[in-house]
Amino acid sequence: MSPTNAITKGELAALLYQALAYQKRLPTLRSPYTIDPNRQIWGRDLMQITRLEVSISKRKVTAFHGEVAIKTYSVAVGRTGWGTPVGNHRILQTIEYPAWENPFTGDVIASKDPENPLGDRWIGFWTNGKEWSGFHGTPNRASVGQAVSHGCIRMYNEDIRELYSQVTTATTVRVSP
C-alpha cells in the first residue's frame, strides 16, 4: 500500500459514497460501478509499469514496476516475413479506440468497428516513419500465443485494457528473440 499511487476520480467518488452509505447517511447503492469495500486500493494491479519485456519465442510479455515483475501476459507475435522488431524501445503513443489501415490496400477500418483487428487499445513502441509496431487487442482470441501478426504484439482485449491503464511514454519496451 502506497499513498503515492493514484486512484481514479470515479474510484474516489465510489469510496466516498460507500463510506457515507455505511454510516447510514445515504441509501445503499447496487451498481456494477461500486467498489468492494474490502478491495485493496494500493495493490499491484494499480502500479505504473516502468518496463515491458517481450519474449518472442515464449510469446509472453512481462510488465515490471522497477525490478518487480507485476504480471505476465500471453501474446501473439509477428509471423515469418513480418517479424516483431527486436531491441530496446520506448512507448511512443497510446490510443484508445484506434482506427486500422490495411497495409496492402490502404482501406481503413473505423475505430469502434467489431472487425477492427487492433481491438480498442493501441500502445505503439516502434516506427520507421511509415510502418508501426505496438501492442493491441484483437477480435481473434485464438491468435494469441501464435506467430500470426504483421509484426505487432496482439493481446487479449481485457489484457491490453489493463496494460494500457498502467503505461506511459516513459515506459521502456525490450523485445528479445
Active-site residues, by number, are 136, 152
Distance separating alpha carbons of residues 95 and 126, to the nearest angstrom: 14
Work out the burial of residue 22: count CB atoms within 10 Å of its CB; fewer than 13 is exposed, 13-18 middle, 19 or more buried: exposed
- The three three-digit cell numbers of residue 121, written as one number: 487499445
Q: DSSP readout, 54-123?
A: EETTTTEEEEEETTEEEEEEE-BEEPTTSPPPPEEEE--EEEES--EE-TTT--EE-TT-TT-TTTTEEE
Which residues lie below 8 Å from residue 35, measured CB to CB, with a gap of 6+?
A: 11, 14, 15, 18
